[in-house]
Amino acid sequence: MQSYRDSVDQVFADPERSILPEADLEHFDGLHYFEIDEKWRVKARFKRVYFRRSFKMKTSTDRLPVYKPYGKFIFSVDGVQYELRVYRNMDKEIQKRYGMYLFMPFTDLTNNESTYGGGRYLDFKPEDLAAGYIDFNRCYNPYCAYNSRYSCPVPPLENHLELAVEAGVKKWHD
């Protein structure tokens, strides 16, 4: 996990690949993370959904990308069961560039406190879904948390957790 975080920080620090504005890039010394904690690598069951309609997901701008529900994870933390839905971006250019990736935006009780107010994301490949777990240590902030040039999907209300997910990336600026 630490090598994954180091590689993310390397991309953020690289002027050729970074999404950071120039002023932030000059002072960048790494993203802020929660401690890696196996508690947040939770056992989960994935349930595929079929025949769901595509919809336009709200974003931080007026852009409305089209997503289709793909399935949901069902998992428990401290004896309480939760569900998070997973979506597929239906944009042909996105699919061509990134392949078949799946997207799980979510909000939780850390938002606006220790994490970005607009929620955080996790990405999956279809083959990841059978692994039997979700690793929240890998959750990340949307690009718009770092740079207002970006338009970022807003997690649907159905993907709010009444739980403080103290894992993954913390908020960028206080």
Residue 172: inside a domain, yes or no? no
Q: Please give the Cα distance from 89 to 7 (Å, whole number).
A: 25
Q: Please give the Cα distance from 109 to 116 (Å, whole number).
A: 11
Residue 169: inside a domain, yes or no? no
SS (H, E, C) 21-47: CHHHHCCCCCCCECCCCHHHEEEEEEE
Residue 33: inside a domain, yes or no? yes
Residue 66: inside a domain, yes or no? yes
Residue 32: inside a domain, yes or no? yes
SS (H, E, C) 40-74: HEEEEEEEECCCCCCEECCECCCCCCEEEEEEEEE
In this predicted model, what pLDDT tens digit does every residue of 67-79 receive, in sequence order? 999 999 999 999 9
In this predicted model, what pLDDT tens digit does every residue of 7-48 receive, in sequence order? 998 999 999 999 999 989 888 999 999 999 999 999 999 999
Residue 165: inside a domain, yes or no? no
Report if pTM > 0.85: yes
Domain assignment of residue 66, given as a range:
2-159
CA dihedral for 95, 87, 147, 22, sign (positive or negative): negative
With a CB cutoff of 8 Å and minimum separation 6, the contacts of 41 are 133, 134, 135, 136, 137
- pLDDT bucket at 174, cuts 50 / 70 / 90: low
- The number of distinct structural domains making up the chain is 1
Residue 80: inside a domain, yes or no? yes
Kindly report the average pLDDT of the chain as a whole number.
93
